[in-house]
Amino acid sequence: MKFLSKHILLLTSIIAVSLTSSCTKDFEKLNTDPVKVTNVAPGTLLAPAQFDGMWIITRRAHRLNNELMQYTVETGALNDFARYEFKENEFDAIWSGLYVKANDMNEMYKIAKQRNDVNNMGAALVMKTWFVSNLTDMFGDIPYSEALRGREDLDYPKYDTQQSIYTSLLADLKTANDLFNETKPFESTDLIYAGDAAKWKKFANSMRLRLLVRVSNRSEMNAPAQIAEMFTNPTKYPLIGSNDDEAMMKYTGVKPFINLFFEMAAAEFSGSRRMGKPLMDIMNTTVDGRRFRYATKNTPGAYVGIPSGYNEQETIAFADNGGLKTSTLATTLKEDDYPFPILTWSEVNFLLAEAALKGWITADAQSYYNKGVEASWKQWKCTWDGTAGTTYLARSTVRFTGTTATMERLMSQKYIAMFFSGFESWYDYRRTGYPVLPIGPATGNNGILPKRFEYPLITKATNNASYTAAAARIGGDNLSTKVWWQN
Average pLDDT over residues 70-95: 93
Angle between helices 345-357 and 197-214 (to 10 degrees): 40
Residue 270 in this model has a pLDDT that exceeds 60: yes
Question: What is the C-alpha separation between 101 and 103, in angstroms, rounded?
Answer: 5
Average pLDDT over residues 322-344: 95
The H-assigned helical ranges of 151-222 are 162-179, 197-214
Q: Is the distance from CB of 8 to CB of 254 less than 8 angstroms?
A: yes
Question: What is the C-alpha separation between 89 and 74, in angstroms, rounded?
Answer: 19
Residue type for 282, please? Answer: I
Average pLDDT over residues 131-153: 88
Q: Is the distance from CB of 423 to CB of 138 less than 8 angstroms?
A: yes
**Confidence band of 16 (pLDDT split at 50, 70, 90):** very low
* pLDDT given for residue 154 in this prediction: 66
Burial (CB < 10 A; 0-12, 13-18, 19+), residue 329, is buried
Q: Is the distance from CB of 368 to CB of 350 less than 8 angstroms?
A: yes
Question: What is the C-alpha separation between 476 and 161, in angstroms, rounded?
Answer: 14
Residue 1 in this model has a pLDDT that exceeds 90: no
**Confidence band of 29 (pLDDT split at 50, 70, 90):** very low
- Mean pLDDT, the chain, integer: 91
**Confidence band of 2 (pLDDT split at 50, 70, 90):** very low
* pLDDT given for residue 211 in this prediction: 98
The terminus-to-terminus CA distance of the chain in angstroms comes to 45
Residue 153 in this model has a pLDDT that exceeds 60: no
Question: What is the C-alpha separation between 96 and 379, in angstroms, rounded?
Answer: 31
Angle between helices 92-114 and 2-22 (to 10 degrees): 110
Structure confidence by residue, pLDDT tens digits, 226-260: 999 999 999 999 999 999 999 999 888 888 889 99
* pLDDT given for residue 76 in this prediction: 84
% the chain with pLDDT above 90? 85
Structure confidence by residue, pLDDT tens digits, 190-235: 999 999 999 999 999 999 999 999 999 999 999 999 999 999 999 9
Task: Walk me through the domains of the chain, giving residue ranges and CATH numbers.
Answer: 2-243+451-474 (1.25.40.390), 261-334 (no CATH)
Question: What is the C-alpha separation between 417 and 307, in angstroms, rounded?
Answer: 20
Average pLDDT over residues 413-429: 98
Burial (CB < 10 A; 0-12, 13-18, 19+), residue 265, is exposed
Average pLDDT over residues 73-83: 89
* pLDDT given for residue 39 in this prediction: 72
| Of residues 200, 199, 181, 238, the one with CA closest to residue 123 | 200
* pLDDT given for residue 151 in this prediction: 55
Burial (CB < 10 A; 0-12, 13-18, 19+), residue 339, is middle
Q: Is the pTM of this model over 0.75?
A: yes
* pLDDT given for residue 23 in this prediction: 37
